């Protein structure tokens, strides 16, 4: 049975992120996600800076058993911080995001790819353009050996053709129910 996903949208404000980028295969992904999230949060704690949002992972290329696309783990923060070693600091621009919510049982590779395809199909049907690499947004920090149990969103930055539906960040609602002013 093919899973059905409800695609939702939201506006994401500009935010500073601390990140780690690495090329890896899908089998290395859980260890990297856990380690990178822990390292980034420790780096922020050591600097006395607060985490201000959910960890997200950007897939800059295909990641599977053959392809080792670059994967970037990002933790939003507030304050001033210089890059150090392999830890990068960058500004994530404000953007419009289309996403689906996933339960822990829906995130097993390769099954999770159906969620990415659902978002892409939804964008195409509405004449929206993908504007950056796809990402997963995690609802809480990673815990050793529990990555597969985390709730997450599969999300993409999208640029609507025409006017952007502007609404406050908060409880999302499906774009299909939102109304654009003429």
Least confident of 8-12, 60-64, 121-125, 176-180: 176-180
Classify residue 30: in a domain, yes or no: yes
Residues 6 or more apart whose Cβ sits within 8 Å of residue 41:
51, 75, 141
Kindly state the average pLDDT of the residues 137-148.
Answer: 64
Asked if the structure places residue 2 within a domain, the reply is: no
pTM: predicted TM-score of the whole model, two decimal places: 0.82
Other C-beta atoms lying within 10 Å of the C-beta of residue 43: 19
- Mean pLDDT confidence for 136-140: 85
Residue 79 has pLDDT above 90, yes or no: yes
- Indicate the average pLDDT of the chain: 83
Residue 61, domain CATH: 3.20.80.10
Report in angstroms the alpha-carbon separations of 127 from 107, 162, 178. Answer: 27, 10, 15
Structural domain boundaries enclosing 87: 8-177
**How far apart are the C-alpha atoms of 106 and 108, rounded to whole Å?**
6
- Tally of domains within the chain: 1
Q: Are 139 and 151 in contact (CB under 8 A)?
A: yes
CB atoms within 10 A of CB 158: 23
């Amino acid at each position: 049975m093919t899973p059905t996903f409800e695609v939702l949208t939201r506006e994401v404000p500009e935010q500073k992120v601390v990140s780690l980028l690495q090329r890896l295969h899908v089998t290395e992904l859980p260890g990297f996600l856990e380690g990178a999230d822990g390292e980034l949060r420790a780096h922020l704690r050591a600097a006395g800076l607060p985490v201000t949002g959910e960890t997200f992972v950007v897939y800059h290329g295909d990641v599977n058993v053959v392809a080792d696309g670059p994967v970037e783990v990002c933790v939003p923060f507030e304050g001033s911080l210089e890059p150090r070693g392999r830890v990068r600091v960058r500004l994530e621009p404000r953007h419009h995001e289309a996403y689906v919510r996933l339960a822990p049982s829906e995130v097993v590779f390769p099954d999770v790819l159906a969620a990415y395809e659902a978002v892409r199909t939804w964008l195409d049907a509405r004449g929206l353009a993908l504007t950056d690499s796809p990402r997963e947004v995690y609802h809480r920090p990673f815990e050793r050996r529990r990555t597969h149990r985390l709730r997450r969103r599969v999300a993409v930055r999208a640029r609507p053709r025409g006017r952007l539906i502007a609404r406050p960040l908060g409880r999302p609602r499906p774009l299909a129910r939102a109304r654009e002013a003429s």
